[in-house]
C-alpha cells in the first residue's frame, strides 16, 4: 500500500509539472541497473555492467558553450501526454536547469515514428532533444520506409532503467495462472491480446514467445495494437482483449488495486516488482534478455560536439539528483545509474540485431 501512496504523489507531481509545461507550449499541442533492478546473468544479452563509474564520469567538468542556449530548447516526445515515454521525459525536463526553458512537445502516432520523423527535420543545433524507445528505433525502421534512420541521431543519455514486460489479465479472468494461459493457446479457441505500439518491445517479446511455443501466426489468436500503454491497459479493464502484454511498471497500481494479475514475465530473469510471477524461460522460451523496455535521449547526429558534451553532463547530473531518482523509485523503475554514450550505442546495436532476428523468424519482415 505504501507504493500506491508514492505513486499517487508522483502522479500529482507530474500533473503539476504537466500544467506548467503546457503553459509554455500551447502552440505545441501536436506538439536494467538491470531489467527491474535485477543483476544481469553471465548470458544476459542486454548487459548493464560497466567499468566506468558515475564518479569517474563526473571527474571531468564540461564548460557551458558560450552563447548557448539563447532560446527555448524543445523536447520532442513521440507519444501522447501521460504515456510511458512522456512521464519521465516531462519530470526530467522540469528538473533541468539549462539556462533556458525546456518545452516538451508531444507528437504521438505511428508507433513513435511521427514524432521521431519531426525531430529529424529540426536543425542539429542543440535546441531539440528527442526521447527514443524500442518501437521507433529497433523495429519500425525494419518494418517500414521511414523519413529517418537510427543513424540520424546520437543516443546520449539513458532516461530510465530497463523494464520487463509480462502477460497481464483482468483479475476476474478465467485465466488464473500461466498453465491456464498455455492451455488457452493450445485449445484451438479464439482469443485476442493487446500490445502497446506495433514493433514495441511488448510486441516483440510476445512474438518471440509465441513463435518458440509454436503458436505465432495461429489463426485463433488476434493481436490488437493500442496507441500507448494507457490505452492498452484501459482496453483490458474494459474486457476487450483476453490478455495484454504490458510493462511491469505500468501495471503496478492496477495489480495492487486488485484489477489485474501478472501471469508471467516474458524474460529469462525474475522481476523484482513481481517476484512471484513465473518467468517464461522456465517454460522453454529462450533468449529473452533483450526484450526489455528502453528509453533514452537523443539529439541530431551533427549537433556541435561542445553542446553535446555539455548536454550529456547536465542531463546526467539531473538524472542523478535525489528528486529524479526518487521519482524513478516511486514509479517502480528503481535507481538509474549513469551510462556512457558508448554503452548506450552497444546496448542498442545488440537490440537491433536481436529484434531483427525475431522479426525475420516470425515473418514480420523478409
Show Cβ contacts of residue 344 under 8 Å, excluding neighbours closer than 6 positions.
155, 156, 157, 158, 296
- Write out the E strands in the chain: 73-77, 102-106, 128-133, 153-163, 165-170, 191-196, 221-226, 243-247, 260-265, 293-300
Judgement on whether residues 173 and 228 belong to the same structural domain of the protein: yes
- pLDDT at site 281: 96
- How much is the pLDDT for 15? 39
Q: Which of 249, 283, 317 is the last residue of a domain?
A: 283
In a shared domain, residues 176 and 273: yes
Total-model pTM: 0.79
Q: What is the pLDDT of residue 316?
A: 98
- 123 with 239, same domain: the answer is no
253 with 262: CB under 8 angstroms? no
Q: What is the CATH number of the domain that holds 211?
A: 3.40.190.10
Residue 15 inside a domain? The answer is yes
Yes or no: say if 273 and 161 are a contact pair by the CB < 8 Å rule: no
Q: What's the sign of the alpha-carbon dihedral 123, 314, 346, 357?
A: negative
Cis upstream peptide for 138 (omega within 30°): no
Task: Check whether residue 325 and residue 177 sit in a common domain.
Answer: no
> Is 288 part of a structural domain of the chain?
no
Number of domains in the chain: 2
Give the strand order in the sheet containing 191-196: 221-226, 191-196, 243-247, 165-170, 260-265
SS (H, E, C) 110-148: CCCHHHHHHHHCCCCCCCEEEEEEHHHHHHHHHHCCCCC
Q: Are residues 171 and 92 both part of a single domain?
A: no
> Does residue 63 sit within a domain?
yes
Within 10 angstroms of residue 69's Cβ, the number of other Cβ atoms is 19
CB–CB of 108/117 below 8 Å?
A: no
* Mean pLDDT by groups of 10 residues along the chain of 366 residues: 39 39 36 36 39 45 96 96 91 97 96 96 98 94 94 98 96 97 96 91 94 91 90 96 95 96 96 95 94 96 98 98 95 92 96 93 90
Q: Do 154 and 177 reside in the same domain of the chain? A: no
Q: Which domain holds residue 262?
A: 165-283
Residue 366 falls inside a structural domain: no
Task: Determine the 3-state secondary structure of 89 from DSSP.
Answer: helix
Contact 202, 247 (CB under 8 A): yes
Grid cell digits, residue 160: 530510465
- Do 22 and 135 belong to one domain? yes
Grid coordinates representing 10? 508522483
Sequence-distant (6+) residues with CB within 8 A of 43 are 268, 289
pLDDT at position 197: 82
pLDDT of res. 354: 92
Amino acid at each position: 500500500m505504501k507504493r500506491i501512496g508514492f505513486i499517487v504523489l508522483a502522479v500529482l507531481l507530474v500533473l503539476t509539472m504537466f500544467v506548467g509545461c503546457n503553459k509554455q507550449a500551447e502552440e505545441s499541442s501536436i506538439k536494467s541497473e538491470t531489467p527491474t533492478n535485477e543483476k544481469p546473468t553471465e548470458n544476459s544479452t542486454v548487459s548493464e555492467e560497466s567499468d566506468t563509474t558515475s564518479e569517474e564520469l563526473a571527474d571531468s567538468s564540461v564548460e557551458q558553450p558560450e552563447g548557448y542556449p539563447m532560446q527555448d530548447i524543445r523536447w520532442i516526445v513521440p507519444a501522447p501526454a501521460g504515456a510511458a515515454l512522456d512521464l519521465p521525459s516531462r519530470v526530467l525536463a522540469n528538473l533541468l536547469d539549462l539556462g533556458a526553458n525546456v518545452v516538451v512537445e508531444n507528437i504521438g502516432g505511428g508507433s513513435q515514428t511521427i514524432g521521431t520523423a519531426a525531430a529529424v527535420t529540426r536543425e542539429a543545433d542543440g535546441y531539440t532533444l528527442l526521447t527514443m524507445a524500442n518501437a521507433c528505433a529497433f523495429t519500425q525502421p525494419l518494418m517500414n520506409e521511414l523519413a529517418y534512420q537510427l543513424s540520424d541521431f546520437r543516443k546520449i543519455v539513458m532516461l530510465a532503467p530497463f523494464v520487463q514486460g509480462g502477460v497481464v489479465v483482468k483479475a476476474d479472468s478465467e485465466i488464473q495462472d500461466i498453465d491456464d494461459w498455455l492451455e488457452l493457446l493450445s485449445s484451438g479457441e479464439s482469443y485476442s491480446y493487446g500490445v502497446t505500439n506495433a514493433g514495441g518491445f511488448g510486441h516483440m517479446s510476445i512474438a518471440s514467445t509465441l513463435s518458440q511455443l509454436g503458436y505465432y501466426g495461429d489463426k485463433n489468436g488476434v493481436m490488437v495494437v493500442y496507441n500507448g500503454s494507457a490505452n492498452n491497459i484501459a482496453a483490458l479493464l474494459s474486457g476487450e482483449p483476453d490478455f495484454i502484454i504490458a510493462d511491469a511498471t505500468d501495471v503496478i497500481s492496477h495489480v495492487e488495486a486488485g484489477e489485474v494479475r501478472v501471469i508471467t514475465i516474458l524474460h529469462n530473469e525474475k522481476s523484482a516488482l513481481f517476484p512471484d510471477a513465473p518467468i517464461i524461460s522456465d517454460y522453454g522460451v529462450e533468449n529473452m534478455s533483450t526484450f526489455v523496455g528502453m528509453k533514452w535521449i537523443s539529439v541530431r547526429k551533427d549537433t556541435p560536439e561542445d553542446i553535446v558534451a555539455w548536454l550529456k553532463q547536465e542531463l546526467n547530473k539531473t538524472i542523478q539528483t535525489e528528486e529524479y531518482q526518487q521519482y524513478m523509485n516511486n514509479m517502480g523503475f528503481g535507481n538509474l545509474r549513469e551510462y556512457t554514450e558508448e554503452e548506450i550505442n552497444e546496448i542498442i546495436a545488440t537490440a537491433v540485431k536481436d529484434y531483427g532476428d525475431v522479426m525475420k523468424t516470425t515473418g514480420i519482415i523478409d
